[in-house]
Structure 1
Amino acid sequence: MQSTNAQFFGLLVAAVIFVWFFKRIGLPPILAYLATGVLAGSHGVGWLEHTHEIDFVAELGIVFLLFSLGLEFSISRLMAMRNIVFGLGSLQVIVTSLVLIIILFCLNFSLLTSFTIGSIMALSSTAVVVKLLKESGELNQRRGQLAIGVLLFQDIAVVPLLIILPLFATSDSQTIGWALAFSLTKGAFVCVLLWAIGKWLLPKVFSEIALVRTDELFVLTTLLVALFAGLLTYMFGLSMALGAFLAGMMLGESHYRHQLEADIRPFRDILMGLFFVTVGMQLDLLYVFSNGLIIVGALFGLLVLKIAVVAISAQLMSERKQDSLACGIMLWQMGEFGFVLIALGRQHQLLTSEHISFLIALGVLSMALTPFLIEKTPYILRRLGLLNSPSIAWEGEPQVSALYTNHVVICGFSRVGQTIARFLKPEAIEYVAVESNPILVQEGKAAGEPVIFGHVKQKDILKCAGVERARLVIITFTEFEQTQIVIDAIKQIAPEVKILIRTRDDSQLEKLRELGVTEVVPETLEASLMIVSHVLSMSGVPMSRIIRRVSDERRNRYQFLQSFFTGEYINNDESNSDKLEYLHVVALPDKAHAVNKSINELNLVKRKVSIKALRRQDREIDAPSDQIILLANDILVLQGKPRRVERVEHFLLDGIE
């Protein structure tokens, strides 16, 4: 037991170091996990044993990966890009696979092995390409759209491959047709069953769960749904990943999609990391070094083949040459789903250990080289004469606006959030609201409001709302503890964004400003200003004077309103007493220490208490000067922190320091 704990501790340490190092040099974490597996496996240092338990946990990573993929899979998105997805995407996968199968078969590989390897090498890395497209700002340009369309078809193509490959391994040539037909029938039945569950049952389940407003229960339900769907397909003799994909696809049309994806992501990333570690453990470094020239040659061949297939296919669909070639450069590498199929091939003995080492080496090197090649794409195109004119700026092409840009993010869509939205809409100011109450989300969406279901304290939800591109973020709820968490999450994503926050009172005003809040609107003080405005107006004061006084008070950050008479109640909370100043009335009797002394002589400034007003007989003096002499029966209005005011009162009356 102790040795097992030590093995996993060493694995965790190595993973942290490798992920940090690879991120610092601009490489994806997938490569870091693969490197960790190489180091930990029997072909490396060999401190970690490859067991069935590790394989099972790693398979859960695939389940969650396919579940997340299903959430992102939208029928409407698919139909909008159908020409690219089913045109360019199908051409790329089919042509690349056929060419590779023919080449491998001519090299004396069996037909089954050729099909498996060809299918694996035809896929590209969604994770790497989408990340690079987002970072370079090319996600919404034509070349980026072409790449996304092809990747979407590849992701769809993985699903039948998950069914076909195990069948090829377990059925002979005479019964393969019947076995395939039977499996497709089972797959169709499972799809219909999961579709029915996802259409009618799961939305009601998640509505009830969301109404409870418990984060832990929502996360547990998400995990349960993904695992249940995987178990259902496994019971029918199909892949667990297939069931998870179908469940995610059913929930992808609901308004819980963003929250589900945010909840599943930590588990998915950690377990996927373990999966890639198990893949890396199978890489035989001695084989790689002894066959280095063959691997480099295969890498160059894969580069030329996939770029040529994508570029020619895109030009046949009337795309520009520069976009076609750029798309090919983006998609030339092997992808993470290739590693999934490698694991499936190893499990069903479709691939030998040498094949696995060869494919893993090819995948790792191709993914590592992709960021460099995408960065050098403009240079490559200019060298090929496709960007001859200096006026054609690669990075300067007009971009389609993102879904949310220069907009207002409203955190909470209750009465305050809805009121804000109603005022923004006539001014043509774009906004998006984030709300965790499913009923409000459902009603808002039905009314055409841009509302996202989710908890704003999660960074993934804030990213879905485009916080990093927002002009302003408004927090409409008043719970201070929750507000702190949300502000911290916002600042991690968008440190410069302006934040407007609503609070019940001004007790945490200074602390909120220290956290980076741009503007704080205390309800009690604003209500006071509104009442004052009505009182003055009904008393005959000109509206221009009322507006000026109210504006001055807001401009001075509610200085006068922050001071008030406490009555018999004094809040003993240390944090509050250190933030607020109170007004307190002191009447000076005949024998008081302060009588016949000037305010300057009393040196109240040193005690950090000021006299805001002085009432003498029927006359009131606002902000009395330091030279005025205090007389018996004067009434003073003191302003300061409670303890300081109490000490000054004793000093004025008895002379006690």
Structure 2
Amino acid sequence: MFIDIILLLSIAVALVALFQRIQLPPILAYLATGIVAGPHGFQLIVEQADIELFAELGVVFLMFSLGLEFSLPRLLSMRHLVLGLGGGQVMSVGLIFTVLGIFASLYWSQAFVVASAMLMSSTAIVIKQLAESKLLNTRMSKLSISVLLFQDIAVVPFLIMIPLLAQQSGNVMLIAEQMGWALVKGLFAVSLILSVGRWILPTVFKEIALTRSDELFVMSTLLVALIAGLITHWLGLSMALGAFLAGMMLGEGPYRHQLEADIRPFRDVLMGLFFITIGMLLNLPSLLEDWPRLIIVLVVMMLTKIMLVFVLAKSLGESSRNALSTGLVLAQMGEFGFVLLALAGKLELLPLPLISTLVGVGVMSMAMTPWLINRHQDIVRRLMFQSKVVPKSGLSSPLPGQYIDHVIVCGYGRSGQTIARFLKIEGIPYTVIDRDPVRVQEALNGGEKIEFGDASRREIQMMLGVDKAKSIIITFKDTEKAIELLKIVKPLTDAKVLVRTTDDSTMQKLQDAGATDVVPESLEGSLMMVSHVLAISGVPIKRILKRLQHERQGHYNHLHGFYFGGESNIPFEESEVLERLHAIRLEQGAYAIGKTVAEVKLKEVSYRAVRRQGVELTHVHPDFMFAAGDVILLCGPSRYVKRAEHRLLGDWAG
């Protein structure tokens, strides 16, 4: 088994890289891996049982992630579209495909399963492609997401019904009886898991979060998903149903983003194995021999879904352009369709040749999806016989849970809270991320917009919409963590990144890492004191503001460096980095007398001023020549200031 998995992953890595180059989704690469390695390809994998076990766990984690995204507030805010357009699409497409399946000589139970699989659209591909095409906040996108949301919810009853259909062989009364019993068990499972999630898990995850242990948090997440799946499995229901409920109960809490980020690597790898096992069901030689039927099924499926979505959207008052665009976006078969087909194949409810044909239809429709989304405007224009190019759909308000043109505040200490308060006063959209569970819960109780999670995780920044953010504020004191975060966000966004630090000792490091601006608290505090002193001294407010702006634009030039004293309580490491001021008097015999600044060649320090016969010269150019009695004011890190003093006085002439 170990060799089989390594072999599969090796092929998958190569094919994913190839498919990415030709801009096809990774799902198709996994399916192609299954075709190559499966029994109808090169037969590289003989024993599939162990791989299918891991693949089933992939479905469990996929449903857990789906549960994290599902929330009652989100559903209620979109209920008109979700229930109207989404519910109408599922029922109408399902009914028509079921009837077509019966006319094609399938048992009604088989026709129902086929219809359930074909009515699904690909949430993963559609959302990813809409995001890459900058279309996520269009009206067409909102309509599409409403349908996808209802489809995702509909997966749960389908997962319950398919095993019942397989067990009862089409006996309607027995199926109805079993559905009733399954409903009772389902309600018990929902009550049990949601009760545990409401009263026990928040406390458990709060204690886990307090440990600040990434490993413990990840293991606890996996354990919760698997235990919830095991509970529903014991009740004779799908493991995926339990995982969905577990995700849903945790999705309402503050740990949603961190949970999703932690489980995503496991989900993606295991889902890759799942799609590989689906690809193994694809009998490519047989499909090539029977390609006319494949093309007919593909065309009928896509045209039917496009037309029904168009009619439903129009009946809800949507424009023809948005209705048709939505139909084009949702025309493909989705990953949950493969989940249902795999379950039906495992239960021998559908014959393998039919599953192979349907998988082929799904693969081809998925391959067409990126092109359909990118070209939907041109297709709509041609189908509606419009001579002029149709402009992009107008932007709608962001969907619940989405972010756009907002500020991301990383860290919710005193600085983060102060920033958030002023953003709220000015009506600027923002979100906050913090890893202190007590603080997060307190803020949530107070109605703040805050999420629990590690801000330095790329996945969490993507969930917070870093690619669409206006600015990012880093408020925590850990410089190394701030640099790590800068390295993550800079390739993802063009937003300005403002970093707060204690003093100016790490300004250059942070700027080199990509910070747009660095705000040292000690220097800003000094500036505020200066502004108050100047104000009470009678300096006009405009001149004060101009002076403050000049200092900030000059990177606090006049605030760098200070005189060390005998009571300066500064650690050795900081004293070697912080800039200090040091005055040096050139007595007779000093090395620098009679030499220019360029000839002395001091390194890593700057000349703040030279005082000669009571006159202070602040502009020290390279041709300036030193004379006996000059007092030189140097600024720089301690070790370089000491070297410069030795150089000027002649104690060290190297």
TM-score (norm 1): 0.90
- Alignment pair present for 1:257 and 2:220: no
Which residue of the partner structure matches residue 481 of structure 2?
482
Matched letter for residue 56 of structure 1: L
| 2:616 corresponding residue in structure 1 | 621
| Per-residue deviation, 1:412 | 1.1
| 1:35-46 alignment, distance < 5 Å | 35-46=32-43
Q: Which residue of 1 aligns with 2:113?
A: 116
Of 341-350 and 171-180, the range deviating more from structure 2: 171-180
Cα distance in 1, alignment partners of residues 387 and 474 from structure 2: 48
Q: Provide the residue aligned with 1:30 in structure 2.
A: 27
Is 2:157 the partner of 1:160? yes
Q: Does the Cα contact within 8 Å between 2:305 and 2:327 map onto a contact in 1?
A: yes
Query: Following the alignment from structure 1 to structure 2, what is the Cα–Cα distance between the partners of residues 167 and 393?
Result: 48
In structure 2, the CA distance between the partners of 1:656 and 1:136, relative to structure 1 (3 Å rule), is closer
Residue type of the alignment partner of 1:89: G
Question: Structure 1, residues 228-258: CA drift from partner, whole Å, max 9, x if none?
Answer: 1101111111110000111111222222222
CA-based RMSD: 2.9
Shift in Å, 1:438: 2.5
Gaps of 5+ in 2: none
What SS does the aligned partner of 1:638 have? strand
Alignment partner of 1:109: what SS?
Answer: coil
Report whether the alignment pairs 1:59 with 2:56: yes
3-state DSSP of counterpart to 1:359: helix
Say which of 8, 13, 20 aligns to 1:11: 8
Change (3 A) 1:146 1:526: closer
- Aligned counterpart, 2:344: 345
Contact 1:593/1:651 (CA < 8 Å) preserved in 2? no
Tell me, yes or no, if the aligned pair for 1:459 and 1:493 is still in contact at 8 Å.
Answer: no
Aligned residue type for 1:447: G
Q: For residue 190 of structure 1, report the CA deviation from its aligned partner.
A: 0.6
Following superposition, the deviation at residue 276 of structure 1 comes to 0.4
Cα 1:79–1:601, aligned 2, differ >3 Å: closer, same or farther? closer
Contact 1:50 1:278 in 2 (8 A): no
Residue 57 (structure 1) shift: 0.9
Is the contact between residue 587 and residue 628 of structure 2 (CA under 8 Å) also seen in structure 1?
no
Counterpart Cα distance in 2 of 1:225 and 1:10: 31
CA distance in 2, matches of 1:624, 1:69: 65
Deviation at residue 298 of structure 1 after TM alignment: 1.2
SS at match of 2:505: coil
Moved more, 505-514 or 131-140: 131-140
How far residue 30 of structure 1 moved from its aligned partner, in angstroms, is 0.8
- The 5 A counterparts of 1:586-597 are 586-587=584-585, 592-594=589-591, 597=593
Alignment of 1:165-314 (within 5 A): 165-171=162-168, 173=171, 175-314=174-313
Question: Quick one: distance in 2 between partners of 1:191 and 1:114?
Answer: 29
Distance (Å, rounded) in 2 between the aligned partners of 1:69 and 1:261:
10
| Correspondence for 2:645 | 649
Give the one of 635, 642, 653 matched to 1:639.
Answer: 635
643-652 vs 450-459, which moves further? 643-652
Alpha-carbon offset, residue 399 of structure 1: 3.5
Number of residue equivalences? 644
- 1:573-629 deviations in Å (ceiling 9; x for gaps): 6x995x654333445566x4349x345389334556555445679x47354863452
Match of 1:97 among 84, 94, 98: 94
Q: Is the CA contact 2:498–2:515 (under 8 Å) kept in the aligned structure 1?
A: yes
Q: Distance in 1 between matches of 2:652 and 2:149?
A: 80
User: Relative to 1, partners in 2 of residues 1:365 and 1:587: Cα closer, same or farther, differing over 3 Å?
Assistant: same
Q: What is the percent sequence identity of the aligned residues?
A: 45
Relative to structure 1, is the Cα distance of residues 537 and 650 closer, same or farther in structure 2, using a 3 angstrom cutoff?
same
Question: Does structure 2 conserve the Cα–Cα contact (< 8 Å) formed by 1:125 and 1:336?
Answer: yes
Q: 2-side partners of 1:394 and 1:610: how far apart?
A: 57
The residue that corresponds to 1:525 in the other structure is 523
Distance in 2 of aligned mates of 1:132 and 1:498: 26
Q: Deviations over 1:154-196 (max 9, x none)?
A: 2121111111111122235263333222222111111111121
Q: AA paired with 2:72?
A: I
**1:612/1:599 CA distance change after superposition, 3 Å:** farther
Tell me if the contact between 1:70 and 1:246 (Cα under 8 Å) persists in the aligned partners.
Answer: yes
Give the CA deviation at 1:491.
1.1
With normalisation by structure 2, the TM-score equals 0.90
Q: Is the 8 A contact 1:407 1:469 kept in 2?
A: yes
Distance 1:150 1:639, change over 3 A: closer
For 1:186, give the aligned amino acid.
K
Secondary structure, aligned partner of 1:502: strand
Aligned-partner residue type, residue 633 of structure 2: V
**Partner SS state of residue 432, structure 2:** strand
1:291-311 CA-to-partner distances (Å, cap 9, x unmatched) read: 111111111111222222222
* Conserved 8 A contact 1:225-1:247: yes
Q: Which runs of 5+ in 1 are unaligned?
A: none
Alignment-derived partner of residue 599 in structure 2: 603
